[in-house]
Structure 1
Amino acid sequence: MDSFSSVYMPKLILYGRDSLKKLGTVVSDRGTNALIISDKIMNSLGYVDQCKDYLNESGVTYETYLDVNTEPTDVFVDVALSIFKQKSCDVIIALGGGSCIDTAKAVAVLAKNGGDISDYIGNNRIARNGAFPLIAVPTTAGTGSEVTDVTVITNTRTDVKMMIKQPAFLPDAAIVDPLLTLSSPRNVTAATGVDALTHAIEAYISRRAHPFTDILALSAIKLIYENIQRAYESADDIEARENMSLGALKAGIAFSNASVCLVHGMSRPVGAIFHVPHGVSNAMLLPAVLEFSKEECLEQLANIGLFIKPELKGLTNEQIASAVVNDVKKLCVSLNIPNMKEWGIDKQEMEKVVRKMAKDSIASGSPANNPRVPSEDEIVNLYHICHDYNMREEQKI
């Protein structure tokens, strides 16, 4: 292990209520003709028009691409990139969830460096020319993509979620306005919230964790653990929403610098093949994968437990770690997180591709960061467990 660590994050992070009002100034400092990459939901909610108003006030012209839909694909990237080039844009605004932000990251890099997004998988091609300025504006408290140097794009030709991590994919600026998350439906609040919790937990137990990321990860876990239920039950609980946004932001910085682990490695094939949203697939895998990994990260899980529940002091690491895993299961039950079967994934259909899923999971590199590094057969078995996993029965109450 190296004796030093590095930390990457955007040059500018604006956080807090009404921070979106600074969009025009932030964009005009970086370009004159923006491409807004978003989706039809954000447009119908009026968020795209808000962005346009702030750009108009700052004298910035703009184009829009509003066809991002669910998980980001190479098709979305190609179309948005074409608009960026044809309209001579020089700055990008990503408005929405992780799908919009990841799409925008790919466009910002390709517009400077050329090639197809698939060229960059496994660092086969390095974005040496950097990227066009990207301002990321998340509307969910979950992915943390606004502060990471990672993009995940589905290759529609191979049904593989390409996880690409290079400094060039890091947004130049992030504007995190928790007011934008008030419109998130309950199921989205739950899925993205558990996604953020997964980021924080995996950043903390990762083999590549270091003291700086540990501080952020633990803080994020506590914020999310204490506020996700409130945000889920009361859509207008702005304090809970604000804490969730801050938790997701911290978790994003933590995992971008410490890397994620087995949950994310297994999650990507579920999304690519069965089109399950990333937050949902992470959430449906987290409890079983934590149980699988527990014995190899007892100290880390115990530290998490004592940080969020000081009253556990005096118990053994084994007991505290088990309590943490059990609390995660209880949380997923209370948020109505489905298993793979309940989501609608047919077991026989999964059986046809489960070996490919396991291979793709390992190829992503994330399982190698897990405290317990799984074999291909163990991942196959975990997929089978997760398909029918009953979190209610699994709880040790």
Structure 2
Amino acid sequence: MVQVILKPELHKFQTCKEFSDAFKLGPEDLVLTNKFIYEPLFGGLGLNVHTIFQEEYGAGEPTDTMAENIMRDAAKTGCRRVIAIGGGTVIDIAKALAVANESACMDELYNAMPALKKQYELIIIPTTCGTGSEVTNIAVFNRVRMGTKMGLVGPAMYADHAVLIPELLYGLPFGVFATSSIDALVHAVESALSPKATIYTRTFSYRAIEMIVRGYQKIAVEGETALKPLSDDFLVASNFAGIAFGTAGCGTVHAMAYPLGGKYHVPHGESNYAIFTGVMKRYMGLRQDGELNTVNEFLAGLLGCEAAGVYTALEELLNHILPKKALREYGVAREELPEFAASVIENQQRLLANSFVPMSQELVLQIYEDLY
């Protein structure tokens, strides 16, 4: 059994200049990023690189069509390395770009996985503290022609280098921090419960949980001004969670969040939070043993509550960071819930394989109804 996958070489620099000097950025490099990130932090460094700004190709989370248009323009640059500097959208597109074929067709990439071939050296630098995507080989796209989100995955999609730069988080809007860091917390919890978890991955999972919860507690007391000094902690915690789920995988929470995010364009971390505690409470109603008991006791120790009420207490804390909404508040109609449940069973078996309990379509529907 695989114990832990540690594929990219991991680097850490305090500033963007330190990174650009160490990696000797030049004319064979393509930087895929956002203008609001690049110009204030890299624009004054005199870098002779190609740039593509993701927002010029569409807003929101990545779609297959957005990625295809970027692939076509990237091919015109003649670059050797792709450097992704951004959040989940930029990073996911860069991973697909790294294995893009000449036709720049996302459907062909999905059909070819996992036997994808790397076309460009890939460097990933996260600017949020949630995806952990810098150390995983999966990218998630809204497949607009199918109406759901699906993962694109393959060994060639690992970055060659993952780079952590705390300076990039200093200007992160609090709302983006909230959705991304809750995503990291869900990664950590789901990977701890996965049947593919090991002593190595759980070490990363539990440390990430602790760092995130302790950070949230500080923010709940001190307010948003506490975030900047905690940037390094949240960046590392996100990375730890990424290492954990990169081997152990995520489960039912992510599987059930994808139809909500895909149809109603809810940010990924927020859609996870909408589902998270509902799944965990349902798990508790079905099983009270194994790793779930360990997770619950660990969280109860951090939150100062009884294990039986741990997810109510966790929700109270998380609501200081991002108020939870019922599914109906996103515009979901009750009659759509069976459609969502069917989509989960049909399209998300890769994730459901990591569920703490076996998930049937009926059980998925019951959880959606509880959260409606």
Q: Same fold (TM over 0.5)?
A: yes
Q: How many residues align?
A: 367
**Aligned-residue offset at 1:260:** 0.3
Aligned partner of 2:42 among 39, 42, 51:
51
1:177 has 2:165 as partner: yes
Summarize deviations over 1:77-109 as a string: whole Å, max 9, x none.
111111111111111121211111001110111
Q: Structure 2 counterpart of 1:359, which letter?
A: I
2:110 maps to 121
**Structure 1 pair 368/115, CA: closer, same or farther in 2 (3 Å)?**
same
Alignment map for 1:323-334 (pairs within 5 Å): 323-334=309-320
Q: Structure 2 counterpart of 1:148, which letter?
A: T
**Aligned-residue offset at 1:334:** 2.4
* More displaced stretch, 251-260 vs 234-243: 234-243
Structure 2 distance, partners of 1:83, 1:198, is 35
Aligned partner of 1:187 among 175, 197, 216:
175
1:202 has 2:200 as partner: no
Please tell me whether the aligned partners of residues 358 and 380 of structure 1 are also in contact (alpha carbons under 8 angstroms).
no
1:167 maps to 155
Structure 1 distance, partners of 2:7, 2:219, is 27
Structure 1 residue runs without a partner (length 5+): 388-397
Summarize deviations over 1:57-77 as a string: whole Å, max 9, x none.
xxx432323325211011121
1:10 has 2:11 as partner: no
Structure 2 distance, partners of 1:195, 1:286, is 10
Summarize deviations over 1:214-272 as a string: whole Å, max 9, x none.
11001100000100344572246433221111110100111011100100111112111
Alignment map for 1:1-397 (pairs within 5 Å): 2=1, 4-11=2-9, 13-15=10-12, 17-18=14-15, 20-25=16-21, 27-28=23-24, 32-39=27-34, 43-44=35-36, 46-54=37-45, 56=47, 60-67=48-55, 69-111=59-101, 116-121=105-110, 124=113, 126-127=115-116, 129-231=117-219, 233-235=223-225, 237-294=227-284, 295-296=286-287, 298-307=289-298, 310=301, 320=307, 322-341=308-327, 343-348=329-334, 350-351=336-337, 353-363=339-349, 365-387=350-372
Structural RMSD (CA): 2.7
* More displaced stretch, 222-231 vs 95-104: 222-231
**Structure 1 pair 89/70, CA: closer, same or farther in 2 (3 Å)?**
same
**Aligned-residue offset at 1:344:** 2.4
**Aligned-residue offset at 1:160:** 2.2
Structure 2 residue runs without a partner (length 5+): none
**Aligned-residue offset at 1:200:** 0.3
- TM-score between the two structures when normalised by the length of structure 1: 0.83
**Structure 1 pair 188/63, CA: closer, same or farther in 2 (3 Å)?**
closer
Q: Structure 1 counterpart of 2:19, which letter?
A: L
- TM-score between the two structures when normalised by the length of structure 2: 0.88
Summarize deviations over 1:2-37 as a string: whole Å, max 9, x none.
3x43413312x223532x2233245437x7422222
Structure 2 distance, partners of 1:201, 1:190, is 17
**Aligned-residue offset at 1:345:** 1.9
* More displaced stretch, 187-196 vs 250-259: 187-196
Please tell me whether the aligned partners of residues 299 and 310 of structure 2 are also in contact (alpha carbons under 8 angstroms).
no
Structure 1 distance, partners of 2:255, 2:333, is 20
**Structure 1 pair 291/310, CA: closer, same or farther in 2 (3 Å)?**
closer
* More displaced stretch, 370-379 vs 349-358: 349-358
Structure 2 distance, partners of 1:158, 1:140, is 28
